[in-house]
Amino acid sequence: MDQEDQERGPFTVGAGRSSRTLDEVDRRILDELVRDGRTSIRTLAERIHISRTNAYARVERLLQEGVISGFRARVVPERAGLGTSAYIALTIEQNSWREVSVELGRVRYIEHAALLGGDHDVLALVRAPDNAALRDVVLNRVQGIAGVLSTRTWLVFEEFDGTTPTWT
C-alpha cells in the first residue's frame, strides 16, 4: 500500500485503479474461489482443466495484482449474534472523506462503507446485535464524527449473500 492509498482511508485502497483485463481462465478461477475460498490449487486446476503449476501461478498473480485481496470466512450474521442490519446514508462536509472514513473504520459493527456520488455521500452497512446497539452506532458513534452533517437509516429485513460473481 503506497502513501496515497494510506491517506485515502481504510475503505478505498487502490480505488480507481484498473488491473489488466482478465481472461476466461482468470474469471473461472475467481468464480471457483468466490464459491469456496478454501479450494485447493489441485482441485482448482482440475475444475478449470489447467495444470496445477498454471493454477498456482495465476492465483499468485491475481493476489500480487490486487485482484484477489485475501480470503475470508462468510459469516451468517444472525448466527454470529448480529441480528439487526441496516444501511446508513451519510451526508458529510465537502473534502472530509479521509477523516470520516478513518473514524468509520473504528466504529464497531460497521462492516462496509463506500464514498458515493449522488444524494448522499457515504453508505455504510451496519450489522449489530440488536436495535439498541444500532441506535448507539447511529446516534452516538456515527453522528458524533466530525464532518458528518446528517444520517439516514434503512433497516434490512431480508437479504441474499451475493456470492454469485458479477463478472460471468
Q: Do 63 and 98 fall within a single domain?
A: no
Q: Do 67 and 86 fall within a single domain?
A: no
- Model confidence at 164, in pLDDT bands (50, 70, 90)? low
Whether 22 contacts 156, CB under 8 Å:
no
Would 33 be classed as within a structural domain? yes
Domain boundary among 12, 40, 72: 72
Q: What's residue 18's pLDDT?
A: 60
* Domain of 26, in residue numbers: 21-72
Q: Do 98 and 123 fall within a single domain?
A: yes
Digit-coded pLDDT (tens) for 89-132: 999 999 999 999 999 999 999 999 999 999 999 999 999 999 99
Domain boundary among 11, 40, 72: 72
Would 167 be classed as within a structural domain? no
Which 8-state DSSP code applies to residue 73?
A: P
Around Cβ 144, how many Cβ atoms within 10 Å?
10
Q: Do 116 and 85 fall within a single domain?
A: yes
Q: What's residue 166's pLDDT?
A: 55
pTM over 0.85: no
